[in-house]
Structure 1
Amino acid sequence: MLYRLCLLALSVISVTAQPLYFPPASNDAWERLSRTDMGWCQDKVDSLVEFGRQTDTKALIILKDGRIAFEKYYGTFTKDSTWYWASAGKTVTAALVGIAQQDRQMDITKSSATYLGRGWSSCTPQQEDAITVRHHLTMTTGIGFDRGNDNCKTPECLRYRAAPGTIWDYHNACYLLLQDMIEKASGRTFQQYYNQQLSQKLGMGGLWFNGILFSRPLAMARFGLMLLAGGIWNGDTIIKDREYFNAMINTSQQLNKSYGYLFWLNGKGSFMQPGIPLVYQTDLVPAAPKDMYAGMGKNDQR
């Protein structure tokens, strides 16, 4: 069954017409817009609610200029319920790598062995040297792995397959190693780094367990709002490295044009799917705005 969480909360779909509103980071207060304010057709709203019901949605939230324009929870799920982001949480890790780089704790152009140490894989030292942090962000490390266990980070599981940058292969272990790099570079646990750099500043909350973020639904909306504002939260620039931010939400390589730095991109004319070595000659989501970018995860977490 599919369980959708906060559909569109991480999908930045348009340029806002009004100044953005930011909810306080210190409490749960959040301004809302009425359906009358929005001028929405009730039959369309009813169709949206039913769509969520048919697709086993947990929470469905839409923001307009930062304010909550639509908020619906299904079944026993509430605004205070906790759910997992799955791979949609990769976008949070991408943001944290950018923050680590702006603070000069990391450099994505350097070999990942700079932070992981020698022997993190079964590759030769020369092969490891060629794999950069950026290759981990773009799923182009060239590391081969057991399809039945793509979370295994031991050297025995990480084997040389191709030169980095020559193949696009969605590999969860190589992603998880980014969290290890942040820990080594910052001297803090990944949870501590997340708390300090994002959670406390945005009021997100949330707990990382086995590399996956668990949070209340509105945490995802807060993160999406920060992205919509260009990496800024209520005047505080969270992601100061503008080159990194722009690269994060744009095509990162030509193998899968619909992939940035752990973000999925629309409007690129072609895309690849995890685990399938085929290029589909169409936009990622043809019915969505061309400039949409999103976090997407297992069981349709978005």
Structure 2
Amino acid sequence: MILRSRSLIALVLATTSLASCGGPGPAEEPPLSEEAMAAVTDNAGAPRKALAREIDDLFEMEGLGDTRALVVMHDGQIAAERYGEDYDADTRFVSWSMAKTVTAMLIGQLVGDGLLRLDAPAPVPRWQRSGDPRADITLRHLLQMRSGLEHTEAGDPPYESSEVRMLFLEERDDMAGFATAQPPEAEPGERFEYSSNTTVILADIAARALTESSDPDERRRAVSDYLHARLFDPLGMDSMVLEFDRAGTLIGGSLMHADARDWAKLGELLRRKGSHRGEQLVPRSWVDEMVKSSPASPHYGLQTWLNRPNGEDEHPLFPNRAPQSAFAMIGHMGQYVFVSPEQGLTVVRLGHSDAAERKAMLQQLADIIELYPAEGR
């Protein structure tokens, strides 16, 4: 009996010693706050606690910038929704370049109405003069950011860039006039160059298609009425506010304002190929064109960013972490409407992240998206 007791004691001691040699077990994750759990619905389409934790990290982790709003839609339903301090569901958020994709939808509707043609020369009056090489620029070239015009999106110093001069400095009263006056620096279609000036040209073309008047108020009214009647009102987008320059041209590359849920409605419309409650608001064939790769840039379509490899280290999305059929509306300082049809997913992230923070923030956003399986819808 004594020998057996000594053996048991020795076994216990040995086990304790081995356990201590192995080091501590995995650290327990901190408990989730009530705010974190409240952000996720009961029918989230993903593990509820895991989704709440990834969203919490997006809002709370250092080095990601300031996330001010997040809306996750899965199969047409809100799966999660959360806002930063001082922001809520009624806050209008500026689009920055997410507006470009909205402008592409507008152009698609006008093409569907027979008012514009995708592969015809762009109807810009000053380019139609005899011998002007810009007469060969088509609507498709403009939509795919390969017009060949001398547009510099970012300059050093910044105030010398075409974008800043157009939006904020001496050219802000007649933005399309400035943008269309720029000379060519490459053959139309030859190369990709991202440009807010190009989208303002598209907005001016839209106004000319809708009214023959040059009166700023009439131009503003024609475009605003059309967009509200044909896009915003049918979607129930009550928060959308559009900005126009003094010439009555929609600032279609940069300045639209809407709440997070309304941005999600636009993403959902694109996920459904332009259809909403049985009504085809944007032609299905046009949405297909929007998400086709440009010949000059595999990760860009018609004013829309694509989640496809571009052969470079830098990418605005994450093709290694989500289906390559996914696409996004992207705006300055970290505005995203990410759409993944294969996952039945639309994710809106709005906030403020600089260039370094944006890289880390995108990977955290991908952590959220990876919780949803791709089902080949």
TM-score, normalised by the number of residues in structure 1: 0.78
SS of aligned partner of 1:220: helix
Q: State the 1:50 CA deviation.
A: 2.4
Structure number with the bigger relative contact order (C-alpha 8 A, sep ≥ 6) is: 1
Note the residue ranges of structure 1 that are not aligned, 5 or more in a row. Answer: 1-31, 272-278
Q: State the 1:207 CA deviation.
A: 1.1
- Work out whether 1:50 is the aligned partner of 2:91: no
Cα deviation code 1:144-171 (max 9, x no counterpart): 1354132354358511101100011111
- Work out whether 1:296 is the aligned partner of 2:303: no
> For the Cα contact (< 8 Å) 1:53–1:74, is it kept in 2?
no
Q: Work out the CA distance in 2 between the residues paired with 1:63 and 1:237.
A: 20
Q: State the 1:34 CA deviation.
A: 2.7
Structural mapping, 1:1-302, within 5 Å: 34-35=41-42, 38=45, 40-54=47-61, 55-112=65-122, 114=123, 116-119=124-127, 125-146=131-152, 147=155, 148-150=161-163, 151=166, 152-155=175-178, 158-187=182-211, 189-205=222-238, 206-210=240-244, 211=251, 212-240=255-283, 242-253=284-295, 255-267=296-308, 269-270=309-310, 279-280=312-313, 284-285=317-318, 286-302=320-336
Q: State the 1:291 CA deviation.
A: 1.6
- Residue 292 of structure 2 aligns to which amino acid in structure 1? N
> For the Cα contact (< 8 Å) 1:249–1:261, is it kept in 2?
yes
Label 1:111 to 1:73 Cα distance change in 2 as closer, same or farther (>3 A).
Answer: same
Q: Work out the CA distance in 1 between the residues paired with 2:151 and 2:274.
A: 34
Label 1:270 to 1:197 Cα distance change in 2 as closer, same or farther (>3 A).
Answer: same
Q: Work out the CA distance in 2 between the residues paired with 1:39 and 1:153.
A: 46
Label 1:284 to 1:71 Cα distance change in 2 as closer, same or farther (>3 A).
Answer: closer
Q: Work out the CA distance in 2 between the residues paired with 1:295 and 1:249.
A: 11
Cα deviation code 1:38-83 (max 9, x no counterpart): 4524144123222134431111001111111100011110100111
Q: Which moved more, 1:93-102 or 1:210-219?
A: 210-219
Q: Work out the CA distance in 2 between the residues paired with 1:44 and 1:225.
A: 20
SS of aligned partner of 1:58: strand
> For the Cα contact (< 8 Å) 1:119–1:125, is it kept in 2?
no
- Residue 57 of structure 2 aligns to which amino acid in structure 1? E
Q: Work out the CA distance in 1 between the residues paired with 2:52 and 2:233.
A: 34
Q: Work out the CA distance in 2 between the residues paired with 1:298 and 1:33.
A: 27
> For the Cα contact (< 8 Å) 2:71–2:264, is it kept in 1?
yes
> For the Cα contact (< 8 Å) 2:142–2:202, is it kept in 1?
yes
- Residue 257 of structure 1 aligns to which amino acid in structure 2? P
Note the residue ranges of structure 2 that are not aligned, 5 or more in a row. Answer: 1-38, 156-160, 167-174, 212-218, 245-250, 337-377
Q: What RMSD, in angstroms, separates the aligned Cα atoms of the two structures?
A: 2.4
Cα deviation code 1:186-232 (max 9, x no counterpart): 12532222112101111113111141110111111111111111110
> For the Cα contact (< 8 Å) 1:191–1:207, is it kept in 2?
no
Name the one with the larger helix percent. Answer: 2
Q: Work out the CA distance in 2 between the residues paired with 1:251 and 1:62.
A: 26
Of structures 1 and 2, the larger Rg is shown by 2
TM-score, normalised by the number of residues in structure 2: 0.63
Q: Work out the CA distance in 1 between the residues paired with 2:298 and 2:77.
A: 32
